[in-house]
A and B are shown apart, each in its own frame.
Chain A
Amino acid sequence: AQSVTQLDSHVSVSEGTPVLLRCNYSSSYSPSLFWYVQHPNKGLQLLLKYTSAATLVKGINGFEAEFKKSETSFHLTKPSAHMSDAAEYFCVATSGTYKYIFGTGTRLKVLA
């Protein structure tokens, strides 16, 4: 069965320190992978996407992610956290159908 696992439900970092949000996927085919960010009571905004081109993907707001097929991972990183990065982040995979596979989310807290 296809699945997306976000390994941490909560992550806390200090402002100015690196961010790492982990995502592993399980799929019988080569999925497209996405990271979305959701601020409270808002919709999901696309941060970046991997669609079988370059394995290192750069997104908005300084975020990037690396697709590692051997590890079935698509971790999200940012060199320096900003207070405005505090939000919930979702890793999402396509399934080859109209259904998308969502992770359960990681809530990022940024400490001053």
Chain B
Amino acid sequence: SQTIHQWPATLVQPVGSPLSLECTVEGTSNPNLYWYRQAAGRGLQLLFYSVGIGQISSEVPQNLSASRPQDRQFILSSKKLLLSDSGFYLCAWDRSRTSGRAGRDEQFFGPGTRLTVL
């Protein structure tokens, strides 16, 4: 069976500090990978998605970046955090690319990282 991991689970960082959040998927290969942010009381905002190693698409211009160094690893980074970066960060994957059903299958979400920037 497939599982998705995120760490850390919670993080408190000062403004201006760097950030690295990691997401890994087990039990599948060639997944599409996604980073979302969920601000308090709001829905999900897509930040980045990746269809393969080194292939990153950015949805929202901001001080965050993403990388995919391995097939099942997705990293969200920042060089200098802002107060507005606080939120709940969710990683997700789907198998549309290998299933041939591009954009039709469900996404599977990780447990999330709660980031508080002070």
A and B associate in one complex? yes
Q: How many residues of B contact A (CB 8 A)?
A: 25
Which of B38-46, B63-71, B73-81 touches A? Answer: B38-46
- Whether a CB of chain A sits under 8 angstroms from the CB of B35 is no
- The answer to whether A34 touches B106 (Cβ under 8 A) is yes
User: What's the nearest-Cβ distance from chain B to residue A106, in Å?
Assistant: 11
**Which of A41, A44, A49, A95 is B109 in contact with, Cβ under 8 Å?**
A44
Docked complex Cα distance between A96 and B101 (Å): 9
Q: How many residues of A contact B (CB 8 A)?
A: 24
User: What's the nearest-Cβ distance from chain A to residue B13, in Å?
Assistant: 18
Q: Mark A10-38, 1 if CB is under 8 A from B, else 0.
A: 00000000000000000000001010100
- The answer to whether A41 touches B88 (Cβ under 8 A) is yes
Q: In the complex, how many residue pairs between chain A and chain B have their CB atoms under 8 Å apart?
A: 56
Residues of A within 8 A of B111 (CB): 42-43
Given A43-B90, A102-B43, does the pair A96, B112 have CB atoms closer than 8 Å?
Answer: no
Q: Which residues in A have some Cβ–Cβ distance to B below 8 Å? A: 32, 34, 36, 41-46, 49, 51, 90, 92, 94-100, 102-105
**Nearest 4 A-B pairs (CB), nearest first?**
A43-B109, A44-B109, A104-B43, A43-B111
Q: List 17 A-B contacts (CB under 8 A).
A: A32-B105, A32-B106, A36-B109, A43-B90, A43-B110, A46-B108, A90-B44, A94-B103, A94-B104, A96-B103, A98-B49, A98-B51, A98-B96, A100-B107, A102-B43, A102-B44, A103-B43
Further contacts, 11 of them, CB under 8 A, given A90-B44, A100-B46: A36-B109, A41-B114, A43-B109, A43-B112, A44-B92, A45-B109, A92-B107, A95-B103, A98-B102, A100-B107, A104-B43
